[in-house]
Amino acid sequence: MNTSKLGKLLFSLFIAITFIGCYNDKSNTEPALPKNPIVILYENDVHCAVEGYAKFVAQRSLLAATTPYITTVSGGDFASGGTIGALTQGKGIVSIMNEVGYDAAVLGNHELDYGIEQMLTLTNELEAPVLCANFMNMQTQGYPYPAYHIVSYGDVDIAYVGFTTTTSGTIKQLYDEQGNELYSFMQEDFYQIAQNAIDKARKEGKADYVVAIAHLGNTERGGGHPSSKSLIAQTTGLNAVIDGHDHHTITEEFIENKEGQAVLLTSAGSNFKNVGVLTLSQQGKFSSTLINIEGDDSPKDEQILQFIKDVEEDVLQDSDYTIGYSNVDLSIYDSNGKRIVRTQETNIGNLVADAFRVYTSADVAMVNGGGIRTNISQGEITLNDIINVMPFGDMVYTATITGQQLLDAMEFSVSHLPKESGEFMQVSGMRFEVDPSIPSPVVLDENNDLYSHVGEGPRRVSNLQILDSASGEYRSVDLSRKYTLASIDYILLEMGGSGILRYTEPIDKYWGMCIECISAYISDTLNGHIDSKYASTEGRMLFR
């Protein structure tokens, strides 16, 4: 063969190979169109609201009548946040999810609440791929979770790519006692890692479409932490993003990506108030809607409902044991039966706040009155009694705040008086005076929803004093000094307190579930007896 013919043959082979490569790379071709609509049913931030799973499955059954292509995904934060999760360290929740049947899930930051090893165990037991492209084992430089998972719908393939927030109180779980980083969510390289995962899903995975399950939150964050919106803005190749972490409700919002193309963003809120439905039409267009399932009249799958009841019965039976004895009645009501835990100091509020402060050795503690749900009667106390007092599965953290922040927090706490407010704080390690006749100087955000700041002018709170644990005396707050505050995730990390202390930095440590702290305080510190100290209140809030 002469060189001219050889050259033509090699050129032809090159063109053929290039054509085949482009043909197989679906990122360079028009995506296939599904023969039927593809429906992606999702939830996010369920936080152990187990009753919702029966409603979730009922909605899936209704949607299955419209198309054979139904996919079920979780947006993360499923393992903790409620009684079943707390008492089983997430295993009870995973058993329910396995009964429901999931196709994919993203790793939520609160899956770390019980420690790294338990998180790895739980996600291994979940009978669905758990995704996270940005979680690295720093010892092995490997990724414990796959970045993406492909689901085929006839001739159409969709890649589900997982991303997890790089900022949260639970991030402390990633370090050993010496401060060495064992695992990382790769904040510095996040966008490059994200783009690589999307590109691989399209090229290696041959995906026609890419949907991110992003437990990032849509709120823009300081310190360079990514949000779902910045994920979209800094990458190309995504068609839609299912978001979690911020507990926000987003029916359908379109954000421009790095090339100016619109990417759909959606989020279902939290605690199964809604379920999300993301749909790919037969024309290749994504749309989304939310279905409210809060009401008792929302349809339920009876088989799943019975499974949940069986799990609850088993778990609560195991927790029906005595942890102590109370010599007094502790109540959220006054002597006339009026609820006061959301308007003034109560003995049960003092007990709970004291438990947080003592258990964590913090300077001060606070807990929202709306989180304390019932009484502790005189007599034997079981773990289930404590669960009934704080049934939401809240987690206790400590944070470092200034005296000024603490003073502002107390000002917000009393800003709704004389009306009830779930954000009214029961406190420990401090005392102050309150004058509700002064108009509240608290300023809310532009939506008149979240706390913004305390404005100028007279304040309701005065003479704030902090307990000196060494001397037992109260001393005037030092506004510039840093104090250690013990509270719950609802106040420090979530939307609790209408954002008053949300993302307080730094979050120092996660201490466990609130029921653990309260139980340990009663059994260990109080030697199993709640005595006359808590027969009445102590004047931690003096009203003028």
Distance CA 92, CA 369 (A): 28
The low-confidence residues of the chain, meaning pLDDT below 70, are 1-29, 168-172, 221-222, 445-450, 494-507
Report pLDDT for 307.
98
Q: Is the pTM of this model over 0.85?
A: no
Report pLDDT for 16.
38
Report pLDDT for 444.
76
Distance CA 513, CA 489 (A): 10
- Residue 250 has a CB neighbour count (10 Å cut-off) of 20
**In the beta sheet, which residues pair with residue 190?**
none
Distance CA 72, CA 63 (A): 11
Note every long-range contact of 332-337, with CB atoms under 8 Å and residues 24 or more positions apart, other chains counting: 332/369, 332/372, 332/373, 332/374, 332/375, 333/375
Report pLDDT for 4.
41
Report pLDDT for 27.
45
Q: Provide CB contacts within 8 A for 193, sequence distance 6+.
A: 133, 134, 186
Report pLDDT for 45.
93
Q: Are 488 and 398 in contact (CB under 8 A)?
A: no
- Residue 484 has a CB neighbour count (10 Å cut-off) of 18
433 CB burial (10 A radius; 0-12, 13-18, 19+): middle
Phi–psi pair at 404, nearest 5 degrees: -65, -45
pLDDT digits 0-9 by tens, 398-437: 999 999 999 999 999 999 999 998 889 999 999 999 999 9
Sketch the domain layout of the chain as residue ranges.
Answer: 36-312, 322-543
Distance CA 467, CA 477 (A): 9
322-543 has CATH 3.90.780.10 classification: yes
User: Tokens 């400590």 sit at which residue?
Assistant: 398
CA angle 101-102-105, nearest 5°? 155
Distance CA 341, CA 320 (A): 26
Nearest to 360 by CA among 512, 507, 489: 512
Distance CA 537, CA 173 (A): 37
Nearest to 265 by CA among 241, 281, 244, 284: 241
pLDDT digits 0-9 by tens, 445-475: 665 556 778 889 999 999 999 999 899 999 9
Distance CA 51, CA 98 (A): 15
Distances (CA, A) of 72 to 90, 153, 180, 304: 20, 13, 37, 15
Q: In what order do the strands lie in the sheet with 249-256?
A: 148-153, 156-164, 209-215, 240-243, 262-268, 249-256
Report pLDDT for 9.
41
Distance CA 126, CA 101 (A): 9
Element (H, E) at 518: helix 514-520
SS3 of 412-455: the string is HHCCCCCCCCCCCEEEECEEEEECCCCCCCEEECCCCCCEEEEC
Q: Which CATH superfamily is domain 36-312 in?
A: Metallo-dependent phosphatases (3.60.21.10)
